Chain A
Amino acid sequence: MNAAPLLRRIAGALIDCRLEAVLIGNAAAALHGAPVTTLDFDFLFRTTPTNMRKLKAFADRLQATILRPYYPASSLFRVVDEGGLQVDFMTTIHGVRSFAALRARAQRLELDGAELLVASLDDIIRSKRAAGRPRDKAVLPILEATRAEARAPRKSRP
């Protein structure tokens, strides 16, 4: 399924609510050109009282609800709607020391006037390697091949 309409809605809502968050995970990797798929969008943000108010406004704007899954996930806020939208907001991820550093290395994606911050492929690989779950390990060779292609000098193709 084409994620563009949902990404535009999410990016628009983030801007409207002035909530600063960086797209991470497989969605971000796919935007870098990795042939991977996902069911949801993952974001890293900072948990400040202001950001928590903004997150509530973000969910309202998308006519969605914020859930706190009951399993040992560190500070996960899941925004879901009845149409199947799932946006996960995390305050920490493995392998990434700070939100500021992640944001500084992120790439800006322009979507019909709305701008979205997409984590760098290096950071995505670092976080997946540090997380070490089987599903993270499974995509690592694909992400590393994508990074190798991104670093390779561009040749004209027939």
Chain B
Amino acid sequence: MPKPAPRANRGRKLAALKKESEAALRDQIRRLRDRPMAERTHFLRVRLPGGGSAL
């Protein structure tokens, strides 16, 4: 039976995931901010019949 991975590994993995997710957010913001303000307009969700919403 394989030995379970040490707990420290899990912490490192979570920290790496967090870092990656923060980098992805920064990149998304940079891409949006590269456009002029008048073009940052794809933010409106519409209500769907029966509940919920979609972009």
Contacts and interface: CB of A to CB of B under 8 A. Distances in A.
B40 A30 contact: yes
A104 interface: no
Nearest to A34: B29
Contacts, number: 74
Contacts of B43: 3, 26-27, 30-31, 36-38
Contacts of A157: 30, 34
Given A1-B42, A2-B41, A35 B47 contact: no
Interface stretch (A70-78, A127-135, A144-152): A144-152
Interface string A28-54: 001111111111000000000000000
Interface in B11-45: 22, 25-26, 28-30, 32-34, 37-45
A interface bracket (residues with beta carbon within 8 Å of B) = 20 to 34
A39 B45 contact: yes
B44 A31 contact: no
Contacts of B47: 39, 84
B46 A1 contact: yes
A6 B44 contact: yes
A37 B25 contact: no
A111 interface: yes
Interface of B: 22, 25-26, 28-30, 32-34, 37-47, 53, 55
